[in-house]
């Protein structure tokens, strides 16, 4: 009696119809988000899948002008298509080819098996065919998320991974139950199981679409934060962000008596490049120099644009000798850069001032900057294209 009461409340078609509105609204939000971020083609693919799935739920409720069997085939195909499209969208989310041919071709193969192996009378077999296809698609989606975990966003990636795992478990349980019970026992004795697992499939796919939307939002947010932290031309840390990160590193090194060094790097005769080749050429030289710094820096070093043609590098756990070696390696790499501007191949060089932390003398990051700046000036004064790490002795005052 209780089972009949629950089943009357949770009539499958009526429940699907009531959730169609949610699906269409979510689809609209996903497509609108794609409209403002068109590089994220995964959202458009999910939107297409949502529209097709919503059409399937509507057609399952309405009486199509078709015989029962062709009508069931149509509805099943429409509901099925979301799953391969979710796999295509997952690949697109990670910048991979969508493999639309496999998605559409596999859906056609599933429907062929649905029609020929199951047929009108064998409900349990129909469930096995659809559940088997769901298991395949969502296993592929789950593996893709696990494989691309290096690209994981803070929340959305792992939420989608968990939902894909739940989809696999639900699909496997439906397949296993239909296999175990067989026809016609599965349709007669497992009505509630089928009802609740079918609804679970619907709601988990609904939540999966939300998680994909969250991934896109998180990526956009991270991109905006990165743009706020970076210099627009060189993509190194801008002055504000470098100062914030360097202050924390300086305090940690000073409190724990750990080595720390600061490098100020300035291109020699940069003004002549702008005067002779123009500011666009100068910008290109700065971009190439920044890329050179990135490729030569150690893991964990902070790199920033200090202003104009001056760059800065903070080297945690680097004492005087190691800092000098890093600086000289950077100087040689810059000298070997030879950036091309049109047909011209430029010879450039840099002067570098190296200041290493002495806790008893450097009470702030500003004092470390001041020493590096004085050493940079000394490198310029002594002929450029050199590294300076020790202050020259002041000349003695003339004796009268």
Give pLDDT, residue 109.
94
Q: How many angstroms separate the Cα of 286 from the Cα of each of 76, 176, 332, 333?
A: 58, 62, 16, 14
* DSSP state at residue 399: P
What is the residue-wise DSSP string for 320-331? Answer: HHHHHHHHHHHH
For 239-388, CATH gives 3.30.70.270
Give pLDDT, residue 8.
47
Residue 218 among the catalytic residues: no
Give pLDDT, residue 26.
84
Give how far the C-alpha of residue 23 lies from the chain's centroid of Cα atoms, to the nearest Å.
Answer: 26
Q: What distance in Å separates the CA atoms of residue 70 and residue 111, rounded to the nearest whole number? A: 12
**Per-position b or e across 313-337, b if 16+ CB within 10 A of its CB:** bbbbebebeebbebbeebbeebeeb
Give pLDDT, residue 207.
92
User: What are 45's two structure tokens?
Assistant: 């693919």
Give pLDDT, residue 9.
47
Q: What distance in Å separates the CA atoms of residue 71 and residue 58, rounded to the nearest whole number? A: 12
Torsion of CA 176, 182, 187, 192, to 10 degrees: -30
Residue 263 region by backbone torsions, left for phi larger than 0, else alpha for psi between -120 and 50, else beta: beta
What is the residue-wise DSSP string for 260-278? Answer: EEEEEEEETTHHHHHHHH-
Q: What distance in Å separates the CA atoms of residue 192 and residue 187, rounded to the nearest whole number? A: 10
- Closest by CA to 363, choosing from 247, 245, 264, is 247
Which residue of the set 218, 258, 309, 322 is catalytic? 309
Q: Are 197 and 173 in contact (CB under 8 A)?
A: yes
Helix (H) or strand (E) segment spanning residue 68: helix 68-80
What is the residue-wise DSSP string for 146-198? Answer: HHTGGG--SSHHHHHHHHHHHHHHHHHHHHHHHHHH-TTHHHHH-HHHHHHHH
pLDDT in tens, the chain (400 residues): 444 444 444 555 566 666 777 788 888 888 888 888 788 899 999 999 989 988 888 887 777 777 888 888 998 999 999 999 999 999 999 999 888 899 899 999 999 999 888 777 788 888 899 999 999 999 999 999 999 999 999 999 999 999 999 999 999 999 999 888 877 777 666 667 877 888 888 889 989 999 999 999 999 898 888 888 888 899 999 999 999 999 999 999 999 999 999 999 999 999 999 888 888 999 999 999 999 999 999 999 999 999 889 999 999 999 999 999 999 999 999 999 988 887 788 999 999 999 999 998 999 999 999 999 999 999 999 999 999 999 876 554 443 3
Give pLDDT, residue 199.
82
């Amino acid at each position: 009696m209780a089972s009949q009461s629950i089943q009357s409340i949770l009539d499958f078609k009526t429940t699907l119809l009531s959730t169609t509105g949610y699906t269409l609204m979510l689809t609209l939000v996903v497509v609108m988000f794609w409209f403002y971020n068109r590089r994220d083609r995964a959202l458009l693919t999910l939107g297409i899948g949502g529209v097709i799935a919503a059409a399937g739920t509507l057609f399952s409720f309405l009486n199509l002008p078709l015989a029962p069997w062709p009508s069931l085939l149509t509805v099943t195909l429409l509901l099925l298509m979301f799953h391969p499209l979710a796999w295509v969208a997952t690949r697109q989310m990670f910048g991979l080819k969508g493999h639309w041919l496999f998605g559409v071709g596999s859906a056609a193969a599933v429907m062929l098996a649905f029609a020929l192996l199951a047929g009108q009378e064998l409900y349990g077999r129909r469930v096995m065919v659809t559940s088997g296809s769901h298991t395949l698609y969502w296993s592929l989606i789950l593996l893709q998320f696990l494989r691309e975990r290096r690209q994981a966003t803070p929340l959305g990636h792992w939420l989608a991974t968990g939902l894909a795992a739940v989809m696999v478990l639900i699909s496997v349980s439906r397949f296993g139950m239909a296999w175990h019970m067989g026809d016609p026992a599965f349709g007669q004795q497992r009505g509630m199981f089928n009802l609740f697992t079918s609804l679970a499939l619907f709601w988990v796919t609904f939540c999966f679409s939300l998680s994909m939307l969250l991934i896109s939002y998180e990526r956009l947010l991270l991109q905006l934060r990165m743009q706020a932290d970076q210099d627009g031309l060189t993509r190194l840390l801008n002055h504000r962000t470098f100062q914030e990160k360097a202050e924390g590193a300086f305090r940690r090194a000073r409190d724990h008596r750990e080595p720390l060094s600061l490098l100020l790097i300035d291109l020699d005769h940069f003004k002549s490049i702008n005067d002779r080749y123009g500011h666009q050429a100068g910008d290109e030289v700065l971009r190439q120099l920044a890329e050179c710094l990135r490729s030569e820096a150690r893991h964990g070093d902070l790199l920033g644009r200090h202003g104009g043609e001056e760059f800065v590098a903070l080297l945690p756990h680097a004492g005087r000798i190691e800092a000098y070696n890093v600086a000289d390696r950077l100087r040689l790499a810059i000298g070997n850069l030879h950036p091309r501007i049109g047909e011209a191949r430029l010879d450039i060089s840099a002067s570098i001032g190296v200041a290493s932390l002495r806790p008893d003398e450097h009470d702030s990051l500003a004092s470390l900057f001041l020493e590096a700046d004085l050493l940079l000036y000394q490198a310029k004064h002594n002929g450029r294209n050199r590294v300076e790490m020790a202050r020259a002795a002041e000349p003695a005052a003339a004796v009268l």
